[in-house]
Amino acid sequence: MDVKDYYKILGVEKSSTAEQIKKAYRKLAVKYHPDKNQGDKSAEDKFKEINEAYEVLSDPEKRKKYDQFGENYKYYEQHGGRPEDFDWSQYGGAGGGGGHSYSYSGNMEDMFGGEGNFSDFFEQLFGSRFSGGGRRQQQPSRGRDVQATMEVSLEDAYNGGTRQVEVNGSRLNLKLKPGLYEGQVIRLKGKGSPGRKAGENGDLLITIQLAPHPGYELKGQDLYADVAVPLYTAVLGGKITVPTPGSALNMNIPAGTDSGKVFRLKGKGMPAYDNKGTAGDLYIKSVIHIPTNLSDKEKELFQQLSQLNGNSHA
C-alpha cells in the first residue's frame, strides 16, 4: 500500500507556501469539478482526490503531521517493515480531543478503505467526522451558487439606490452603488443553495443588464444625448436646461449655434463604480427646434428678417 503524495496530486513542491497550494487547488478544482464533467467517473475521482489533498495541506497542523507520518512510514516500509506492525500511537491525539491516542492491529487495507483511500486514516488520525461506532459520517458540503439576472434602468445605474429581490421565498433589500455597468456580477454571499450537513450556503450571483433608454446612449462611461435648442436661443445665444439621469443642468448656448453641434460636459457622464468621485463625460448634440403655429405678427417679423438678408417671399 503506497502513501498518497498529496503534493504531487496538487502539482506543488513540498516547500510550497500556503498561497501556492491554494492557487494550485483552485485551478484543479475548476478543471475537474463535477458540474463541468458530468458523467465522467475519472474526473469525479480526481476531484475527490484533490479535495482530500487540499483538506490536509491547507491545515498547518495536519500538513505537519502528514509530512512527519509520510516520511516515517515510507522509511519503515522501505526497510522491510510490515504495514500492520507500524507504530501508530505516536501520531494519535491530533484531533484536539484531550490527548487521545489511537492504536491499530490487523489488516492495513481495512484501515485505508480497501482501495488505498488515505482519507479514512486521516479522519482517525485527526479526530474528525467519525461517529462513536466508527462509521464514517457524510462530510459537510457547500451549497451551489445560484445565477440570476437583474435588469436595471439607466437612472438606477447612474444614481444607485435600493432594489428588492426575492431569494428562496425571502425578500432582500439590495443596495446598488452608482456606476453599475452591463454584465457586472454582484455576489451575495450565503444567499445561494443551502449546504448539506451544516455546510455553508452557496452564493447568489446577480448579473446586471442595463435597460435601453429612449433619451441616452451609453458608451463606456460616457453618455450621449440629443437636446432640442429653440431657434431664438440658437441665433441669439442663451441658456437651456439639460436633463440628465441625475439632476437637470443649466447650459450656456453660444449665439449662432448650428444644428448638430456637439457640446462636451466633462464629468457629467456615468459615475465610476469602483472609483468614487470620477465619472465619464456627457455629450450633448444640439437639435434646432423650428417654431410652428406662428402668429401673423411673427410671420411678418420673419419676412422682414428675410428681406434684410436679401431674400424675398411672396
- Domain regions of the chain by residue span: 6-125, 146-210, 217-308
The identity of residue 59, as a single letter, is: D
Q: Where are the alpha helices (DSSP H) in the chain?
A: 6-10, 18-32, 41-57, 60-78, 108-111, 118-125, 154-159, 231-236, 296-308
pLDDT averages per 10-residue partition of the chain, 314 residues: 77 92 90 82 87 86 78 53 52 40 33 40 45 51 86 92 79 88 90 82 90 92 94 92 89 93 94 89 93 87 82 57
**CA 138 → CA 122, 144, 266, 279, distances in Å?**
15, 17, 60, 52
- pLDDT by residue (tens digit) across 78-102? 555 555 555 555 554 433 333 333 3
Distance (Å, whole) CA 35 – CA 32: 8
146-210 and 217-308 agree in CATH topology: yes
User: Taken in order 124, 130, 136, 141, is the CA torsion positive or negative?
Assistant: negative
Cell readout for 168 is 428562496
- Residues ≥6 apart with Cβ < 8 Å to 127: 93, 94, 95, 96, 97, 100
**pLDDT computed for residue 192 by the predictor:** 83
**Angstrom distance (rounded) from CA 25 to CA 56:** 12
Q: Which CATH architecture fits 6-125?
A: Orthogonal Bundle (1.10)
The pLDDT score that the predictor gives to residue 171 is: 83
Residue the block writes with cell 439607466: 154
For the chain, what's the residue count? Answer: 314
pTM for this one? 0.51
- C-beta of residue 284 within 8 angstroms of C-beta of residue 263: yes
217-308, CATH topology level: HSP40/DNAj peptide-binding domain (2.60.260)
The C-alpha R_g of the chain, in whole angstroms, comes to 35
For residues 13 and 54, is the Cβ–Cβ distance under 8 A? Answer: no
Q: 291 with 234: CB under 8 angstroms? A: no
Instruction: Assign domain 146-210 to its CATH architecture.
Output: Sandwich (2.60)
The predicted structure's pLDDT at residue 110: 34
pLDDT of the residue at 87: 56
Outline where 105-261 has alpha helix (H).
Answer: 108-111, 118-125, 154-159, 231-236
